[in-house]
Amino acid sequence: MEPKSIAFHHFGCKVNFAEASALSRQFKDKGFQLKDFREMADVYVISTCVVTAVAEKKCRAAIRQAHHLNPEAKIAVIGCFPELMPDGLEKMEGVSLVLGHSAKFALCEEVERLFNHSGHEHPVFPASNEFVSSWSLGDRTRSFVKIQDGCDYYCSYCTIPLARGHSRSDTIGNVIRNVEEAVRAGVKEIVLTGVNIGDFGRNTEETFLDLLRELEKVSEIPRIRVSSIEPDLLNDAVIDFIASSKKLMPHFHIPLQSGSARILKLMKRKYDRELFASRIRKICDLLPLACIATDVIVGFPGESEDDFRETYDFIEGLELSYVHVFSYSRRANTIAAGMAEPVQDKIKKQRSGLLHQLSENKKKIFYLKNKGLTAHVLFESDNSNGFMHGFTENYIKVKTKFDPRLVNQITTVNLDVLGEELCYEVLGIGY
C-alpha cells in the first residue's frame, strides 16, 4: 500500500490533546505521513469537543473544511461529539468513521480497515470505563501527560461525566514510565492532565499527593505543572508539598465557577466560598508570587444581578492572577438544562465583559509584582515574526527575539521591561 497521509485537528481540553497526540504517533509509527490540517491529506481526524454550542459549531466547520480540502478523503470524527450527539454525524459528507471516547483508541486499526475494504461501515464499540494512558509530544518543550479520566462529580451544567464516564486513573508506576519516555524525547516540562486530576487514584488506592511525591524523585525532569484542580481536592497537604518542591511550578488553576453561594449550590459544586478563599490565602502565604488562575461561568440559569455582583466582588477581593470567563451554554441531558430563568444573551455578554476587564486588571497587578525579578523561562520553538515566547515558573509569558539556541532551554531572564503584549522583554540571558 502507498504511504498515506493523515491530518489531525484537535478541539477542547488538554486530555483530548494528549490523546490525539498519542494517536497521531501511532499513525506515524505505521508509516503514515503527518500533515497540517490545512493541507490535502488522505485521512482527516477531528478530535471533538461539545462543551459549549460554539465548540460544537467549530467541530462541524472542521468536518466541512476537511471534506472541502479533499472530497475523496476519509474523515474520522472522534471523542465527545460522537459520544454525546452521534445522530446524523455519519451522514455528514465525507465522514467515514464516528468513534466515541472508548472506541477512538482503535482508530489506527479502523482507518487501516477502511483502506482494506471498500464502503463506509460504522462499527459499534461498547462504552468502556477502562483507563487508556496518553501523553502529548508537540514541539518537545512540554508534554501533557494524562493521569486521570472521567468524573464522578456531576456538576449540574457539565456534560463531561456523560461523555467520559466514571473517574479512573493511571497507576503511579505507569505515569512515571510515560514521563520518563517524554523526557527521553527531549521534553523539559510535564503538565499533569485529566478531567478531575485531584481525584487521582480513586480506583487504585493511590493518591494525587503520592503521585507528586514520586514524580519529585524523577531526577531528569526539571519542571512539572499541575493543570486545573478542583478546590475541594487541592488540600493543605498538596499545597504544602507544591510549595516545598523544587520541580512543581508555583502555578495553580482552581475553578471557581461562581462566587454566589446560591448559584454554587445550584451548580452542585462541592465547596463553598469560604473554602475557596481559604485555598487562595494559603497559597499566597506560602508562595506570594504564585500564578493563581480561575474559571468562572456567567449567566447560569437564575443568576440574578445580585448573584453576579456577589461573584464580581468575591473575585475582586481575592489575590487571583487572572480569570477565564465562560458564558453558560445549555447542554442537553444536564440538570441545568431543565432549570427555569435562563439569562438573556445580552446580559451574559455584559457580565462577561465586566469580568474580562477585572481579569485584565488582576493580570496587570500580578505582572507588576514580578517586575525587576529574576526568573527562569522555558522558551518554545515557534518563530512568530522574528520573536519567540516562553513561560516563567509562575506562568508569565516572556517574549524575546527569536534565537534558535534558546529553543527548549531553561534560560535566566530579568523581568524588567513591560512589553506591549503585557509580557516582559528578556534583558539578561544565562545559558
* Residues making contact with ligand SF4 (CB under 6 A): 151, 153-155, 158, 160-161, 195-196, 230
Cell of 43: 485521512
For the stretch 101-118, what's the b/e string if a residue is b when 16 or more beta carbons lie within 10 angstroms of its beta carbon?
bbbbbebbebbeebeeee
Rg (CA), the chain: 22
Least gap, CB of 322 to ligand SF4 (angstroms): 19
Helix axes 236-244, 208-216, angle to 10 degrees: 10
Q: Across the strands, what pairs with 322?
A: 293
Q: Which of 230, 223, 272 is nearest to 247 (CA)?
A: 223
CA-angle at 52, arms to 46 and 55, nearest 5°: 30
Least gap, CB of 132 to ligand SF4 (angstroms): 18
- Nearer of residues 40 and 332 to ligand SF4, judged by Cβ: 332
Task: Decide: residue 136, CB within 10 A, 0-12 exposed, 13-18 middle, 19+ buried.
Answer: buried
Least gap, CB of 58 to ligand SF4 (angstroms): 20
Least gap, CB of 422 to ligand SF4 (angstroms): 29
Least gap, CB of 120 to ligand SF4 (angstroms): 33
- Nearer of residues 160 and 190 to ligand SF4, judged by Cβ: 160
Cβ atoms < 10 Å from Cβ of 327: 18
- Nearer of residues 212 and 336 to ligand SF4, judged by Cβ: 336
Q: Across the strands, what pairs with 414?
A: 374
Least gap, CB of 340 to ligand SF4 (angstroms): 21
Least gap, CB of 80 to ligand SF4 (angstroms): 12
99 vs 106: CA distance, rounded Å: 9
Cell of 168: 479512573
Q: Across the strands, what pairs with 418?
A: 424
- Nearer of residues 52 and 381 to ligand SF4, judged by Cβ: 52
Least gap, CB of 153 to ligand SF4 (angstroms): 4
140 vs 382: CA distance, rounded Å: 11
- Nearer of residues 263 and 423 to ligand SF4, judged by Cβ: 263
Cβ atoms < 10 Å from Cβ of 240: 13
Any idea what DSSP says for residue 31? T
Residues near 244 by beta carbon (within 8 Å), at least 6 away in sequence: none
φ, ψ of residue 234 to 5 degrees: the values are: -85, 75
- Nearer of residues 51 and 182 to ligand SF4, judged by Cβ: 51
Grid-cell match 519567540, residue found:
388
Contact assessment for residue 54 and residue 77, using Cβ atoms and an 8 Å cutoff: no
- Nearer of residues 56 and 230 to ligand SF4, judged by Cβ: 230
13 vs 146: CA distance, rounded Å: 11
- Nearer of residues 302 and 419 to ligand SF4, judged by Cβ: 302
- Nearer of residues 48 and 400 to ligand SF4, judged by Cβ: 48
Least gap, CB of 263 to ligand SF4 (angstroms): 14
- Nearer of residues 168 and 363 to ligand SF4, judged by Cβ: 168
Any idea what DSSP says for residue 342? P
Least gap, CB of 176 to ligand SF4 (angstroms): 25
